[in-house]
Structures are given as structure tokens and as C-alpha cells.
Amino acid sequence: MTVGKSERRPGFPAPKRRDNVTRSHTARARPADSSRYAEALQPARSSHSPHPGRADTPVPTRANHTKSALALYTETAEHSAAQVIKEYSTSFGATTRLLSPAYRTGVTSIYALVRIADEIVDGVAAQAGLAPQAQRAALDELEKETEHAMATGFSANLVVHAFAHTARRAGIRHDLTAPFFQSMREDVDKTGYDADDLNAYIYGSAEVVGLMCLRVFLTDSTSGRRHDPQTRARLTEGARRLGAAFQKVNFLRDLADDLDTRGRDYFDLRDAFTEETKSSLVNEIADDLAAAATVIPELPRGCRAAVTAAHDLFAELNDQLRAMAADDILQQRVRVPNRRKAGILALAVMRRRPREARA
């Protein structure tokens, strides 16, 4: 179970108050913000569209003789990665369209690889007839190919190639990919977790993904601003806390499916999911979201609205989980209605800072 996974079972309410801005400033800002928000909510244009929008990944063409063969191949790979996200996650697709072009391709390339690994261990490989040992072997092969592409700059696997291109540019290395693949391996056949096991799993499956995205944000910043070590430390902690919150929300959303279908007991519930347990978990998630919210305003402007939207979508999900009885969480999967989701994205574009936490 990874960040961005919630759409299938990634990967970004009206606030209690609005920022103190003047009416004239708001009036001036609204046209650009409204246009960007409308673009994010529009379905991605077909790759065959003769008039692709700015938000679309450029469609490579043999007629473009200005690109080298490798550049054309890389652009094709990035387009393939974007298609993976489009097919698997409408919410994540909408939030990534709020990213400036400098960040969007890198983030979608990261999440496409995460999604492919996730599918290996979450049922697709099993439906294809692969036994657990074969699933593990497929995951090992994907990791080996990823590491090779990061070292050489090429893979025959388009999603891996797109990820490797981003990794080499942003400085994503083995220290982040290895924990991720280790957590994915545990999903093949591990069924129970103690507190230390769970923390390690969440770090590998979710927190490192946030750290990968952060490296893209800081490497590709168009402002040219260099963050001091103290700011980088705060942003790193915020990225980890946000990733952890996403994962824990998805744990609760998929609780019944994980327990009944996959035999996974991430919270060591032993068939006893009580109101006390639920309250403790949603409070823990709220703390993670609050910690992440404090540093989002320090992110580069071009990624702030998208990260804010992702934060607020998961805050809304956590509010719903808080309001539900523990037994109901085991019976139904919470989701944000489309109309509510649209409102959250619109506010994120206008404010570019997360909503205040709700008790």
C-alpha cells in the first residue's frame, strides 16, 4: 500500500478563515488562478488531439528534427508515465496539473514507477497467475532495472526510463529507492507488523516518495533560491510527515480489504478495531498533517498549490474517518465527492497554503 494508492482501493472543505488579502489584490489574482484551476479540472487531452493544452505532456513526433534520439525517447517515456497516472488516479492527476511544468513531469514519473511496483504486489501479478515467489522475483527485477537505469540513463522500460531521467536530474539515489522496494517486498507475503516494523514500512512505502518529490521541487525551482540547511531540514521533515499521513489514511480507507482479502494487519489489530483505536489513529494523522502544513508555505511557488490540494484532500478524508463509527470503517470506503473535491482544489489554487486543522 503506497501513496497514491487510495484512488483504486497515489498523490494532492472550505477553510475556517481566509488569508488577509485585500479585495483589490484578490480581484487581480483571480483570473490567473481561475484559469489554472479550470485547467486542472479538465480531463487530460488525448494524445491524438491536434491542439494539446499546456498541462499535457508534449506528444513526441518524428517530424520534430530538433530533438536528439535520446531526447525523443525520454519525452516518449515521460508521456507514458503521465498516462499511467491518468488511468489510475483522477485525484492525483488533478493535483499534479496544478504543478508548474518545471515540476509536473518529474512528479508524475516518480509516481508512475511507484504505481507499477504497487500493482505487482497488490493483485495484478496474482491475477496473471504469479505465485508469491514469482511476484517477489518480478519486484526484484524491477528494482534491478531501476538501479541500472539510474546509473546509465537508459531503460527499455519506458516508466523506468522516465523515473531514471528524473532521478539523475534531481539527485534521487539508492538511499531512497532501496527502502521503497523493501517495503513493497513486505507486501508480497508479510501479514503482521509491530510498531517498529510499521514505522519502517511507512518510511519505505510513503515517506521516501515525499522525499523524492521534494528533491524535484528543490532541484527544479525556477526561483533560483537556495535553501539553507535549516530550511531543508524543515522541508524534509514536512515531506516525511505528509507522506506518513497519506499512508495512514489509506490504511484506514482500505482496512477491510487489507484484512479480509490480502491478510495484512498493519496496525496489529487482531480483529479488534475499536473506537479507541480509531480515535488514536485519526489524531495521529491530524498531527502529521498539521506538521506538514507548517512548511508547505516554504516550498517553491510552482508546487505550493498542488501540495496544498493534496494535503487538504487527505485532511478531508481524515475528517470523514473521524466522524465514522469504527464498525462503519470496516464496511465502507470513504471518498471525497467530486463536487467537494473541486472546491478543495479551487481553494488550494487561491490560497496556496493548507487549511487549518480541525479538532
| Domain parsing of the chain, residue ranges | 30-41+69-221+228-351
- Encode pLDDT of 32-51 as tens digits: 444 444 445 454 443 333 33
Rounded distance between C-alpha atoms, residue 297 and residue 284, angstroms: 22
- Among 295, 151, 272, 318, smallest CA distance to 210 is for 295
Q: What share of the chain is helix, strand, coil (3-state, %, to 5)?
A: 70, 0, 30
- Encode pLDDT of 323-341 as tens digits: 999 999 999 999 999 999 9
pLDDT(353) > 60? yes
pLDDT(52) > 60? no
**Domain 30-41+69-221+228-351 carries which CATH code?**
1.10.600.10
10 vs 111 pLDDT, higher one:
111
CB 166 within 8 A of CB 74: no
Burial 152-172 (b: 16+ CB within 10 A, else e): eeebebbbbbbbbbbbeebeb
The per-residue pLDDT for 23 is 37
Question: Three cell numbers at 327?
Answer: 464498525
The beta strands (E) that lie in the chain are given as: none
Single-letter amino acid, residue 157 = N
The per-residue pLDDT for 271 is 67
Which long-range contacts (C-beta less than 8 Å, at least 24 apart) are formed by 144-150?
A: 146/113, 146/177, 146/181, 147/174, 147/177, 150/174, 150/177
Mean pLDDT of 127-146: 97
Rounded distance between C-alpha atoms, residue 309 and residue 328, angstroms: 27
Chain mean pLDDT for the chain: 84
- Give the count of alpha carbons within 13 A of 298, CB side only: 19
Contacts of 183 (CB under 8 A, 6+ apart): 2, 200, 201, 202, 203, 204, 205
pLDDT(110) > 60? yes
CB 95 within 8 A of CB 11: yes
The per-residue pLDDT for 228 is 87
Rounded distance between C-alpha atoms, residue 197 and residue 266, angstroms: 9
Which of 93-97, 114-118, 186-190 shows the highest mean pLDDT?
A: 114-118
Q: At what angle do helices 301-323 and 229-253 cross, to 10 degrees?
A: 40
- Encode pLDDT of 238-254 as tens digits: 999 999 999 999 999 99
CB 106 within 8 A of CB 220: yes
pLDDT(201) > 80? yes
Rounded distance between C-alpha atoms, residue 146 and residue 143, angstroms: 5
Length of the chain: 359
Rounded distance between C-alpha atoms, residue 150 and residue 162, angstroms: 10
What are the CA-CA distances from residue 332 to residues 9, 70, 224, 253, 320 (Å)? 11, 47, 46, 8, 12
74 vs 59 pLDDT, higher one:
74
Question: Three cell numbers at 165?
Answer: 531521467
pLDDT(179) > 50? yes
- Encode pLDDT of 271-315 as tens digits: 688 999 999 999 999 999 999 999 999 999 999 999 999 999 999
Rounded distance between C-alpha atoms, residue 44 and residue 9, angstroms: 22
Question: Three cell numbers at 70?
Answer: 535520446
Is pTM beyond 0.85? Reply is: no
Question: Three cell numbers at 12?
Answer: 494532492
- Among 88, 92, 86, smallest CA distance to 43 is for 86
